[in-house]
Amino acid sequence: METRNDGSLPVYLQIVELIVRDLAAGRLVDGEKLAPERKLAAELNVAVGTLRKALTELEARGLLERRHGSGNYVRAIADPASVYTMFRLELIEGGGLPTARTVSVDLLEKPGSLPDFGASAKAHRIRRRRFVGKRFAALEEIWLDAAYAKTLTMTDLSESLYLHYRTRLGLWIT
């Protein structure tokens, strides 16, 4: 497993996402005991306190049972409420947090090849490189109707477009 400290998601949430993804992919099964906290923190290259914050979040989501003196046990549930539930790129062997780097943002006339969407004749074309861990996995192209944002630049966007849509544009991705 690998975490990054570059502002994409807080490190403890990255750990939560790694575990949620491993549950969803069947790499962790219901009732499985996690490694001891110190060992797991060392494997993830994080402080034990950061790991414990992630474990507390997992417990609050119903994805972890913490047994004092015994350890931490995963609980598989139908809807783990992951940040990345709508779209996921995953490594077959597991691990590797998905990240993205914006390549370009251009305001363009909507091409006729796109489905009809939105109120404006123009749209922002957002191109991003998608990574799983540090491995390049895909080039993503997103078209956002210009009626939602008259101007949009690369510096406006954080790694999480979901967060930008919600906080700046009043859109919720479901």
Q: Which residues are within 8 A (CB) of 9 and not within 5 positions of it... i.e. 6 or more apart? A: 17, 83, 97, 159, 160
Q: Tell me the per-residue pLDDT of 94-104, one tens digit each, with 9 for 90 and over.
A: 666 677 889 99
SS3 content of the chain, % helix, strand, coil (to 5): 25, 25, 50
User: Where does 43-157 show beta strands of DSSP type E?
Assistant: 64-67, 71-74, 98-109, 122-132, 135-145
128-166 pLDDT, tens digit per residue, is 998 887 788 889 999 999 999 999 988 888 667 776 787
pLDDT value at residue 17: 82
Q: Kindly give the confidence (pLDDT) of every residue in the chain, 174 residues in length, as a single tens digit, with 9 standing for 90 and above.
A: 445 544 467 888 888 888 887 777 777 888 889 999 999 999 888 999 999 999 999 999 888 999 988 999 988 765 555 555 555 666 777 666 677 889 999 999 999 999 999 999 999 999 999 888 778 888 999 999 999 999 998 888 866 777 678 778 888 765
At residue 149, the pLDDT reads 92
Indicate the CATH number of 1-92 among 3.40.50.150, 3.40.50.920, 3.40.50.620, 1.10.10.10. Answer: 1.10.10.10
Q: What is the per-residue pLDDT for 7?
A: 46
Tokens matching residue 17: 């996402």
- All CATH 1.10.10.10 domain ranges in the chain, comma separated: 1-92
Q: Which of 136, 126, 123, 135 is nearest to 159 (CA)?
A: 126
pTM, two decimals, is 0.57
Is residue 151 within 8 Å of 123, Cβ to Cβ?
no
